[in-house]
């Protein structure tokens, strides 16, 4: 069994209540931080831990904290990004549902470290049940003196509020989230200035993912150095992986970073293999935005070594043969799934969710959806595949926020690795309406590294 | 005014306004516009949709222009700009849920309820629509029912039939 830092007590009855959470050692980190550490020392521990943002970008959390501007007399804010919307990702929902005090404890410690007196947890609006759970847990914590005025007699004041979103994927982008929290449309801001300088209400602000903030608790309890011993290389600590698709046991798993992908998919401790005795055709390893990989490149690097669940190993080989850990949304496709149909589905998602500010994204995502719809429904031509390639190239890197890239990558990678399947749809317009292309050679071990094509 | 099928203006109860006050106090002085999204949720929970007259009153309450409310209400997908069924069923239609049968659930709902996506059943009880990822991919197919946003997981056509019957019998 691998080590659990976030979900160790997840199966303890009543762990969602303050009493049971306390019995299991909860809020020790708040006591330690507020009574024995300075804000600077906490930031230092988080830096030492090597913790990287768990929302998808993987930027070192401690470094992000150290960028926070601290002008005299200006409020600073911590905003928790709980707008979990990346298809394939549902770990934050799980954490907030079953162990809400882990997030609240992390928010108190982190707010203290950053000097925030008011902090917000921005939860996607669809998660009303989780919003109710968090509000109840905050009320419990406040009644017990963990929030409010003069916490633990240290003179530190903190108010914590839950803010519901309105149903918009784009609000997971931190500046769009801040716009939304200010009561506006979720249009991402042009950076710089970064939120660390001018964020919420123009004040210095840190935006962190739910899991990143919860991870601060074990980092403070055990020390940053201890945390950094878990994991592999620059991928330190544990990571929540949301596993979905055609798996025997989909769900949320806490893994030590560095676990072989093959073990994650097939061992009984984790996903238990592919459902209904089928074979694995492809995976999306880190949420819908990251490149889709065929089964062979999922399990092994291009040089034949096992691929691991870590930031570095999953991206090994760049986009030619690799992908990204992203938010840890692991989607498995069995041999009967159609990559063209799924790519169309994802394109529709990005078209639907584009905020419309930048024309490459606003127009391009719609084009991609239409062209993919055409191919999927048996009306495609060979030129359409090249057209798709051309469109995604023109979106990537040409937008204010990463939604454009997120829309381009699934299309690019599907064509890169599954071009045969697209062409089959075009050559067999009738057959492709009643049959699937199947697994073809996508699970066949690769003999040698394929020639890297231009990204 | 937004172009919608209007209606006599809605009236906000004192209970609703008390909730508004509680929300408004979460933000610093002068930043009351931050309350906009939560207030629209409260309005929708009360009236099951967001009528234009309600938006105008929210604008007045927050001391902002009506257009600032309209642009938000039309940007975010959760706000219903026309009346829905008493139970508005929202089925996730994004990739991972489709891998485990979400499309079948959507077409089953259409047959079962006898209305198209976005329409309301003649008895006013049900409407349904496909929505994008609800962040419950491991438990798909899933649907949620507003305004409580109760969640139903691992759907089958049988469990959907049972859910509809249960809701019908709830009246």
How large is the ipTM?
Answer: 0.95
Comparing alpha-carbon positions, the chain B residue that sits nearest to A252 is B138
Distance between CA A120 and CA B26 in Å, rounded?
A: 9
Q: Which helix (H) or strand (E) holds A34?
A: helix A28-36
Give the rounded percent of residues in chain B with a pLDDT score beyond 70.
95
Class level of CATH domain A339-434: mainly alpha
pLDDT at A334 over 70: yes
A100-114 vs A210-222: helix crossing angle, rounded to 10: 80
**Contacts with A163 (C-beta within 8 Å, 6 or more apart), sequence order:** A120, A121, A122, A123, A181, B26, B34, B37, B38
Q: What is the pLDDT of residues A274-312, one digit of tens each?
A: 999 999 999 999 999 999 999 999 999 999 999 999 999
Distance between CA A140 and CA A143 in Å, rounded?
A: 5
Q: In residues, how long is chain A?
A: 455
Instruction: Assess contact for A215 and A8: CB atoms under 8 A.
Output: no
CA distance B134 to chain A (A): 7
B98 marked as binding residue? no
B66, B96, B141: which to substitute to probe chain A, counting the most A Cβ within 10 Å? B96
- The residue-averaged pLDDT of A213-231 equals 97
A125, A278, A357: which to substitute to probe chain B, counting the most B Cβ within 10 Å? A125
Q: Do residue A349 and residue B133 have CB atoms under 8 angstroms apart?
A: yes
Instruction: Assess contact for B105 and A355: CB atoms under 8 A.
Output: no
Q: In residues, how long is chain B?
A: 171
Tokens standing for A317?
Answer: 């080989």
Homologous superfamily in CATH for domain B87-169: Glutaredoxin (3.40.30.10)
Q: Do residue B75 and residue A168 have CB atoms under 8 angstroms apart?
A: yes
Q: Please count the other Cβ atoms lying within 10 Å of the Cβ belonging to residue B170.
A: 9
Interface check B33 vs A, CB under 8 A? yes
- The residue-averaged pLDDT of B56-71 equals 97
Sign of torsion, CA A314 A315 A316 A317? positive
Comparing alpha-carbon positions, the chain B residue that sits nearest to A171 is B76
Task: Give the residue range(s) of CATH 1.10.10 domains in chain B.
Answer: 14-75
- CATH architecture of the domain formed by A232-334: Roll (3.10)
Q: Do residue B78 and residue A126 have CB atoms under 8 angstroms apart?
A: yes
Using DSSP, state whether A453 is helix, strand or coil. coil
pLDDT at A454 over 60: no
Comparing alpha-carbon positions, the chain B residue that sits nearest to A251 is B138
CATH topology for the B14-75 domain: Arc Repressor Mutant, subunit A (1.10.10)
Distance between CA A406 and CA A356 in Å, rounded?
A: 15
Using DSSP, state whether A7 is helix, strand or coil. coil
Give the rounded percent of residues in chain A with a pLDDT score beyond 90.
97
- Residue A299: CA atoms inside 13 Å, Cβ hemisphere, count? 17
> What's the CATH number of domain A18-229, 3.40.50.11540, 3.60.70.12, 3.40.220.10, 3.30.590.10?
3.40.50.11540
Q: What is the pLDDT of residues B112-166, one digit of tens each?
A: 999 999 999 999 999 999 999 999 999 999 999 988 999 999 999 999 999 999 9
Within 8 A of B152 by CB-CB distance, chain A residues are none
Instruction: Assess contact for A231 and A237: CB atoms under 8 A.
Output: yes
Using DSSP, state whether A404 is helix, strand or coil. helix
Within 8 A of B37 by CB-CB distance, chain A residues are 125, 163-166, 180, 183
B62 preceded by cis ω (within 30°)? no
Domain borders along chain A are 18-229, 232-334, 339-434
Tokens standing for A140?
Answer: 């419990």
Distance between CA B43 and CA B40 in Å, rounded?
A: 5
pLDDT at A455 over 70: no
Supply the pLDDT for residue B38.
98
DSSP string, A200-258: GGGS-EEEEEHHHHHHHHHHHHH-HHHHHHSEETTEESEEEEEEEESBSS-EEEEEETT
Q: Which helix (H) or strand (E) holds A121?
A: strand A118-123
Supply the pLDDT for residue A87.
97
Within 8 A of A345 by CB-CB distance, chain B residues are 93-95, 98
Q: Please count the other Cβ atoms lying within 10 Å of the Cβ belonging to residue A160.
A: 26
pLDDT at A97 over 70: yes
Instruction: Assess contact for A255 and A241: CB atoms under 8 A.
Output: yes
In whole numbers, what is the pLDDT of chain A averaged over residues?
96
Supply the pLDDT for residue A447.
72
- The residue-averaged pLDDT of A110-127 equals 98
Within 8 A of A129 by CB-CB distance, chain B residues are 148-151
Interface check B68 vs A, CB under 8 A? yes
Q: What is the pLDDT of residues A392-408, one digit of tens each?
A: 999 999 999 999 999 99
Supply the pLDDT for residue A285.
97
Supply the pLDDT for residue B170.
86
Supply the pLDDT for residue B6.
60
How many CB pairs below 8 A link A and B? 148
Distance between CA A195 and CA A67 in Å, rounded?
A: 10
Q: What is the pLDDT of residues B22-50, one digit of tens each?
A: 999 999 999 999 999 999 999 999 999 99
Q: Please count the other Cβ atoms lying within 10 Å of the Cβ belonging to residue B59.
A: 18
Task: Give the residue range(s) of CATH 3.40.30.10 domains in chain B.
Answer: 87-169
- The residue-averaged pLDDT of A62-87 equals 97
Q: Do residue A93 and residue B149 have CB atoms under 8 angstroms apart?
A: no
Q: Which helix (H) or strand (E) holds A362?
A: helix A359-376
CA distance A250 to chain B (A): 5
CA distance A382 to chain B (A): 25
Tokens standing for B61?
Answer: 């309450």
CA distance A380 to chain B (A): 21
Q: Please count the other Cβ atoms lying within 10 Å of the Cβ belonging to residue B45.
A: 15
Q: Do residue A75 and residue B134 have CB atoms under 8 angstroms apart?
A: no
CA distance A377 to chain B (A): 15
Within 8 A of A124 by CB-CB distance, chain B residues are 135
Q: Please count the other Cβ atoms lying within 10 Å of the Cβ belonging to residue A395.
A: 29
Interface check B43 vs A, CB under 8 A? no
Distance between CA A290 and CA B67 in Å, rounded?
A: 37
Instruction: Assess contact for A28 and A104: CB atoms under 8 A.
Output: no
Interface check B77 vs A, CB under 8 A? yes
B1 pLDDT band, cuts 50/70/90, is: very low
pLDDT at B2 over 60: no
Q: What is the pLDDT of residues A163-208, one digit of tens each?
A: 999 999 999 999 999 999 999 999 999 999 999 999 999 999 999 9
Long-range contacts of A366-369 (CB under 8 A, 24+ apart): A367/A391, A368/A392, A368/A407, A368/A411, A369/A344
């Amino acid at each position: 069994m691998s080590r659990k830092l976030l979900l160790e007590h997840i199966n303890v009855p009543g762990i969602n209540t303050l009493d049971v959470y306390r019995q299991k050692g909860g809020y020790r980190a708040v006591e330690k931080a507020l009574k024995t550490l300075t804000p600077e020392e906490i930031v230092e521990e988080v830096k030492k831990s090597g913790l990287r943002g768990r929302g998808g970008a993987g930027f070192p959390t401690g470094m992000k904290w150290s960028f926070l501007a601290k002008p005299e007399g200006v409020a600073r804010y911590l905003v928790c990004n709980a707008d979990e919307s990346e298809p394939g990702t549902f770990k934050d929902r799980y954490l907030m549902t079953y162990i809400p005090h882990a997030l609240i404890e992390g928010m108190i410690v982190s707010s203290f470290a950053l000097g925030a007196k008011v902090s917000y947890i921005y939860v996607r609006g669809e998660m009303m049940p989780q919003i109710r759970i968090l509000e109840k847990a905050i009320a419990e914590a406040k009644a017990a003196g963990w929030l409010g005025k003069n916490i633990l007699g240290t003179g530190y004041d903190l108010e914590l509020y839950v803010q519901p979103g309105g149903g918009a994927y784009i609000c997971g982008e931190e500046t769009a989230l801040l716009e939304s929290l200010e009561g506006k449309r979720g249009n991402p801001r042009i950076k710089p200035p970064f939120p660390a300088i001018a964020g919420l209400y123009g004040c210095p602000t840190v935006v962190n993912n739910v899991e990143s903030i919860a991870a601060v608790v074990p980092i403070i309890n055990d020390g940053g150095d201890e945390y950094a011993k878990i994991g592999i290389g620059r991928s330190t600590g544990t990571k929540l992986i949301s596993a979905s698709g055609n798996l025997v046991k989909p769900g949320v798993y806490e893994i030590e970073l560095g676990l072989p992908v093959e073990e994650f998919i097939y061992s009984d401790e984790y996903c238990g293999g592919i459902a209904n005795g089928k074979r694995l055709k492809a995976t999306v390893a880190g949420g819908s935005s990251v490149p889709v990989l065929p089964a062979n490149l999922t399990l092994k690097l291009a040089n034949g070594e096992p691929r691991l669940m870590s930031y570095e190993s999953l991206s090994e080989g760049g986009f030619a043969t690799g992908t990204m850990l992203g938010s840890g949304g692991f989607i498995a496709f069995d041999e009967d799934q159609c990559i063209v149909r799924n790519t169309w589905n994802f394109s529709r998602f990005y078209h639907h969710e584009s905020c419309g500010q930048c024309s490459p994204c606003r127009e391009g995502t719609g084009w991609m959806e239409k062209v993919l719809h055409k191919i999927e429904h048996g009306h495609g031509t060979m030129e359409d595949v090249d057209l798709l390639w051309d469109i995604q190239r023109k979106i990537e890197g040409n937008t204010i926020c990463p939604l454009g890239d997120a829309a381009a990558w699934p299309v690019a990678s599907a064509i890169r690795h599954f071009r045969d399947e697209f062409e089959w749809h075009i050559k067999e317009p009738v057959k492709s309406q009643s049959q699937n292309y199947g697994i073809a050679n996508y699970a066949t071990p690769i003999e040698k590294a394929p020639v890297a094509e231009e990204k | 005014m937004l172009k919608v099928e209007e209606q006599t203006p809605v009236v906000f109860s004192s209970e609703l306004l008390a909730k508004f006050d509680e929300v408004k106090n979460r933000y610093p002085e002068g930043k009351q516009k931050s309350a906009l999204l939560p207030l629209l949720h409260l309005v929708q929970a009360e009236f099951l949709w967001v009528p234009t007259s309600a938006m105008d009153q929210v604008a007045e309450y927050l001391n902002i222009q009506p257009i600032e409310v309209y642009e938000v209400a039309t940007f975010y997908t959760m706000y219903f700009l026309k009346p829905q069924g008493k139970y508005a069923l929202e089925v996730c239609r994004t990739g991972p849920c489709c891998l485990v049968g979400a499309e079948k659930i959507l077409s089953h709902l259409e047959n079962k309820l006898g209305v198209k996506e976005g329409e309301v059943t003649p008895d006013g009880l049900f409407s349904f629509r496909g929505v994008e990822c609800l962040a419950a991919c491991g438990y798909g197919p899933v649907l949620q029912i507003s305004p409580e946003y109760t969640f139903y997981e691992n759907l089958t056509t049988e469990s959907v039939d049972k859910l509809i019957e249960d809701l019908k019998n709830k009246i």
